[in-house]
Structures are given as structure tokens and as C-alpha cells.
Chain A
Amino acid sequence: MSASTNRPLSISSFPKPIIHIDCDAFFTSVEQALNPELRGKPVVTGKERGIVACASYEAKALGVKRPMRLWEAQKLLPKLICLPSDYETYSLYSTRMFEIMRRFTPTVEEYSIDEAFAELSGLRRLHRAGYEEIAWKIKQAIQTELGLTVSVGLSASKTLAKIAGKEKKPDGFFVLPASELHLYLPKVPLERVCGFGPNTVALLEKQGIRNVWDYVSRPEAWAQRLLGKIGVELWHELRGDAVHPVMTEVKDDYASISKTKTFTPPSSEKDFVRAQLIRNLESAFIKIRRHKLRAKVMAVFLRSQDFRSLGVEAGLDRSTSSILDAVGLAGELFESIFRPGTLYRSTGVVLSKLEADRTMQYSLFDDVPKIESMKRIDKVMDDVNEHYGKHALHLGTSLWLGKHRQHIAGRGDLPERKMQLLKGETFRCRIGIPIWNVKV
């Protein structure tokens, strides 16, 4: 069946108008927006991790890819500018982008640090403009106020909006009405659908499905049989029938919480590596308490210099938000996987089987007074650290970290924002407004 004989799936353009907005090369674009001398130059961020976390379009054009080791990228391109990640400023930018979107519609989903969905139905009268024009205004507002470009896709479901947003990057703007899907989808390869991984694509190709139009042309029952519930949902989404809602609440139901840190130079010193691990454990528990959760399962892993990882998982005695319930077990797990003489480069902790830390059903064998006193210790630690800075009060084990920052030598570089403090700012606490580094 050729595309020209396909019949429209919908007579309405936007039964539910949804836009997807994605910042172009977000981290480096923020750096370039705030530092005019970086504009037009190949820039990457991720110096502190030793890998390319984000590459500017100039760097991409010259062959720098993500993920690449930093030294590889520098060998390829000696004039490459490598910056340490300034997550604080990136987060300020991210929040600003979402806030600008909320000026137009309250229905905004913060999908990731640099990506968002918004739903526009009912807004035409308020803004005296069509959906396409509203989407364009949002794009313009973000671009002028943040000084970076975004790519926007407007369509009839989240899945379609995301495909439309990827149509052209950077600085893209693509409108895909549901009434034109029959003309467009035959040109879209399966792997562009968020939700079709390599294995799904391979399976679909075995069924003779070559593009997205082939997929939505099959009956719903076929999608159900082949891919189950997820397949059916995508089948509807791709036909312009939105089933995934734009979720406005900030995500706080984590499936797991993990904390990983790489350190340089690598170390084989047992106490030091253990201290790194325990520090991650502390950070993970701080996060878990901030989100009012508790965990039942803990995994720890060590990664050696040759990038081999060794991990082990175990259940905690009870679902807990207290590090004192976990630190003993973490030590045992560490002992079971630590190999003397191996050089380690990073450690990590994953807490999972999370649940809301609200009601507590004590079991018959629980030492209730001890649990209560641990809760009080947690509270004291959180209060002290809120006042004096994260990890000001910490477990004795992490003393082995010594004065060693995360990285010695070049990779220990801090973002400029943390180096040049304004009067009254501290290393822990700075003004929540980005500094624009123009020399005037």
C-alpha cells in the first residue's frame, strides 16, 4: 500500500494538543549562553567525570560524540574546551524553562532536566492564538529569556510530540497534526519511537513492519498479542489518540535511589575505598529521607580501573530510612566483593524496594526503642547538616576520605560559579540567579 492511498486516521488536527520541548545540547548551551567567549566554539562538559557528558554542536560537527572518554575527544580535537559540570546553574536554567512554560499552561510535565511536555487544550481563547502559534510563542519566550535554542514538536500525543520534536534539531519546530499522520508516519523508522528499543524493533521487523505507519495499520489485537499492554498503548499514541497523560506533579516516586561517585586517582587502599562507599550510602540515605521514603533492599558495587564492575545485593532487616540500619550490612557486602591489590575507580550504592515512610508496622522482633532512637539520630544529623552543610556531621568511616576531594589534579576542577563567590556567598550556598559572564 503506497503512502498516497493511505487514509487519514483522524479528521481533527489536535484532538489533544501536546508539545514536547527539548533543549539543544543543554549543558554546553547553558555554558555558551553565560560565557560569550565560548560561543561558536567546540565545548564539552563532564571534565570532572573524565567523559564527554554533553558536546556543543560545534564539537559534534567535528566528530566529538557522547559518551567518549575525554582524552579521546581531546586527541581528536586539541582545541576542544573542556568544562567541569555546573549542575547548580543547569538546574536554575531547567527550573526557568519549566516556569516559562507554566506562564502559558499549568499542565507541564518536567520529563527530565532539559525536556518537558505540555498540554495546550482549551488555551486558544486565552491566548487568542492557535495551538501552533502558542507553541511558537513558548519557544520564542524560552529562547529570548534563556539565550539558548530549543526544539519543539507539536502533535496529538506525547509519543508523537516527541517524534515531531526530534524531526529537526537544533532550533527545530515541527507541527504534526493527527490529520496528516497517514502522510508522515510512513517516513518514520521504528527506532524513533520512544518505547521501541532495539529488541522490539528487531521483533517488529520480523513481522514485516518497516516503519511506524505499518505498525499502526495493523489491528489493535495484533499489537496486543505481539507486545502486550505497552504495545497497545503505543499503538493508540501513534494514531493520535493520547493515552499517556501529561503528568504535572513533580516526580517523587522513585523506583530506586542510587549514588555513584568516581574518584581519581584510582585507589586500592581498602579503608579509602570503603569510605567512598559509605559516603555514597550517606548521600543515598539523605536523599531517601528528603523524599520521605524508606528502602528494603540495598546493593553495593565497586568498579575497578579496567571498568569491570562487581556488585552484590542484599535485603535489609526491615524497611528503613536510617543509615544505621544499613551501614553494618554495607560493610559486610563490601568485604565480600573487595579484592586486595585491585585499583578501584568508583563505588556505588543502590537502594530499592522503596515505599513511603509514613505508617510503621513494627514486627514482633523489632527493637522499638532502638528504632525510635535511630530516627532521632537521623533527625539530628539532617538538622545539623542543613545548618552546617551536607556531610558536616557524618559517620566515622568516612573520615578515611581525609582531605581528599573527589578528584585530585585536573579533574578536581570546580565549575567557575563555585570558584568565584560573591560577597556573602559560601561554598555551600549561592544566589539562585545565574551569573552572566560578560566583561563590561
Chain B
Amino acid sequence: MSKPKTNDPEGRELSTTVWTALDRKAGAIIELTIKQLRNKTSTWTVLGVSMLLLVLLSAFYIDSVREGFESIDNDGDSVDYDGDGYPLGQERKYGSSDFDPSEYPGSGLFIPEGQIYYNGARSHTGNHTWNADGPSFFSGPWDSIRLEYLEADEPCPDAIDENLEDAPYSNWAPFSCLMENGDRYVQFLSFDGNGTLTVAEGWYAVYGITTERFDVAPDPPEAYIDEDGIDWDPNDPSTSQGFDDDGDCTRSEYPEQISSDRDDSNRNRIPCDVQWIRATDGSVIQIQPDMLVDEDPVDSELMGESSHRSFIIITGKIAFAMIIGIFLPLFLALGLIRDEGENGTLHYLLSKPIHRGEFIVYRLSGYLIFSGGFVLLMSLAMALVTIFLGPDGNRLGDVNVWFGIGVVTVLSLAAYGSIFNALGLLSPKYGVYLALIYGVYEFAMAVMTLLGAELVPVVSVSHWALQMIDAVVLVAWPDTIMLSQMATAFNIDSGIDIFWRPPIHTFGTGSPELAIVVSSMVLIAFISLPILVGQSIFKRREID
């Protein structure tokens, strides 16, 4: 037998309480707000632009995934800077200069013995390797010419006289020619010869011996790409790891050329190693390599995951939090109440038994359900793109990060919505300008946060939203610190070390979970305060 229904003195069922009535009013205003937003052209314009932005970003991502990751010469040693046919890496191995084309692997090393200095005797005789810096004459057998010039056995032009008083024949370029008396004119040239070198006033020359010469075949540039990989054993508890695969740091079998203080640039008193510092939970939090150790790893092994995460972080921070997060509220929230007043329809809603303060909250709720729904849908779509196209591995983290980005953006939408709505109420006439100025301010604070500023941007929604994304990323992918450190330490150009930083507002704990809690609380304050201000303004506003 069913229980008889109990009614209040006015005959209403007790199920019809103040709360159910509030729910119904809220539901009606939320529904009306959503319908209104759906009926505005500007709404679909701004949503369309937002979608287009995400589609373009996805297209870039898909394009890069399809192309794969090409090997990159992270340390630049595959390049032949002096044009002698030998890449920098090979020149480093043999200790020859990559700035002087006369020095190359097998060309012999020049060891100076003396010089014809500016203010000393102008000539010297002997069997040497000569480095003539300025206009000079050489008399005697020309044993070998280290650089071949077509003009070397050609008669000298008239401009070169025997007094060497005129300007050099060709300014600042290696050159040689045959004088009428059988001597040679030389400038800016290295050569071997047994004879006398006479140098013009104001110039100098160095003479010495050259070590034995031998033929060395130039290595292909590819030999110096991805030639020094990351040597790290995660099971090895030692902090000193890393191995100089290409030998450009240790140089044990090659002549010394690079100063030895570079060998221990991480100052751990172990030359040519990489210091891997871990937290108590074993996660890597810092990587400090000595110079030229593990500096050219196999990019495809690291770039895939690192770039994938960078794409998600950049899209989350810039596209979602900074662009969509600021522009959607600017178009959708500014006029939530202001436009009703201007359109002359506000009285329909306010002549009902509903408090003006409640009314603001319900309007903002309607806006948030509409815009937040769109953002969550977009983040889900992006998650599907990256899950199916991302590098192999457990991509569950992608879902978590995209969901986190969606939630952070919804919080931003709520904060900016309540701020812009309050500005619209504060000044119906100039609210749009105030909102634009505030939007630019928030964007600037976001850029400052991205650049690493920690203090000034704290008075902005964007700063806390971006930090929250950093924290969400770290919770979902705890090894992101390691990837970021690897990018910095080993010159991996994935962008993760630029666009992601460990959250800073953790009261010194480094806990990303605490950062999420702190950021959420600050964002909730950013949402609530403008609502209270808006309610205070609206409550006192006469509606003529």
C-alpha cells in the first residue's frame, strides 16, 4: 500500500521544496541562456574559428607524424665550416682547425719556432714551414705548396714591385706569383721552403716545422650525425653516467686542442661524464653533462615522445588556455546580462521571483555549460587524434592530460566569464573596451609565465591555468622532467624544455598534486570574486 502524500498548508507536496523550485528556476535560465547563445551568429563564428585553429594544429601534427623525425646533427659537427672537405667532427679528431682550410686531417700540425715580428728584422733564412701573413718575398726552393693557386707559377702583375711598398695585390686573400728575378711573391699563405722570407714593413710571419703528413680520406658528414648517444642505465644508481662515444670530449688518442676545463663542466670531478640526479622516488629531476658528452643522440628515439608531448602541451597552453580560454568568454560572457538590459528583455526575467544575485549565477552557469561543453568536446577530439597517431606506447596518459587541459580551460572560461560579465555590468557602455584591455593583460601575463616569470603573473588567471596544465602533465607523465632535462642537456630540439616547466607553486614540495589543488583554489577565487562584485553592482542597478 502506498503512503499517503503529505501536503503543506498551501496544498503543495512536500517534494516541492525551496530547493526543487530553485533547481527549476536555475534550469529554466540555464536553458534559456544556452538557447540564446545558440541563436547568436557571433557564437558560431567564435566557435568556428576555435575549431579551425585546432584543425590546423592537428594538421601540422599529423604532417609531422607522417614524415617521421629526421636525424638532426645536434652538435653541428657534420658541417665542413672551412671548406677543406673534412667535417668538423673529423677535424676535431685530428686536432686540425676547422677555420683554416690549409689545416685538415693528415695535413700535419704546424709547430711554431720563431717569427718575423712587426718591429724586428724583416727577413729570416732557413728550411721551414712558413706562415706569411702579409706581402712578402720568398727566395729559394719552394719544396711544397700546401695550397695550390693557379697563379703560383704565373708572372706577378706590375702592381707588385720589389720594394713591397704598394698595397698587397689582392686584399686579405692567399696569393702567390713568380717575380722576374725568380723569387716568389706570397701573401696570407702557408708553404714549405728552404730559403729567405722577407716581409713588408708593418706585417709579420711565423715559421716552424710541420709534423708528418699522411693521407686521410674525408668521412661522410652522416658519420657525425647521431654519433654520440645518451648512455644511461636507469637501473644503475650511480649519478655519474654517460660515455663520450665520438671521443670529442676525452680525445685520448688525438692531439689536445680543446682546453681541458671543458672536460668537467658539470664540476663533479669526473671528466667527460653526465650527472643524472634523481629524486627519492627514482625519477630523474636534473641532467648535467660535461661538454661534448652524449651531445648528439639518436633523435628518432627521443624526439617522437618528446615532440608528441610538446604538441599536447603547446596546444593545451596556447590554443586552449590562452586563445580559446580568453576569446570565448569575450564573445559569449560579456553581454550575458548587459545585452538583456540593452535589448529591453531583462524585465521579463527580473519580474519573476528570482533574486538578481541568483540570476547572475544561473546565467554564468548556462554560458559555462555551453562553452565548457564545447571545450571538453574539442579536447576529446584532440585526444583521439593524438592517441591514434602518437608514438607507440601507453597513450592513456594522453587522455588524462587532454581531460586535464579541458578542465583547466573550463575553469579559465568560468573565471574570464565572471570577470567579463562583471565588467559588462560595471560599465555597460565601455565594458567591451575594459574587457579587451583585460584580455590583452591576461595574454601578456600568459606569455610572461611561458617565459618563466614567477612573481608578476601571479595576479592573473592565465598564470594559474598554465601552471595547472604543467602540473596535470607531470601527474600524467611523471618522466616529463627527465624528457625536459634531456632536451636541454642533449640539444634535443623538441620544445618541451621551452613550453613546459615543473609547477612552481608547490610550497617547496615539488608535488604536482598540490600544485593542482593550489591552482584550483586560486582559480575558484578568480571565479567567485567577480561574481560577488557583479552581484553587488547588479543588485543596486536601476533598470529603466
A binds B: no
Binding site for A on B (CB under 8 A): none
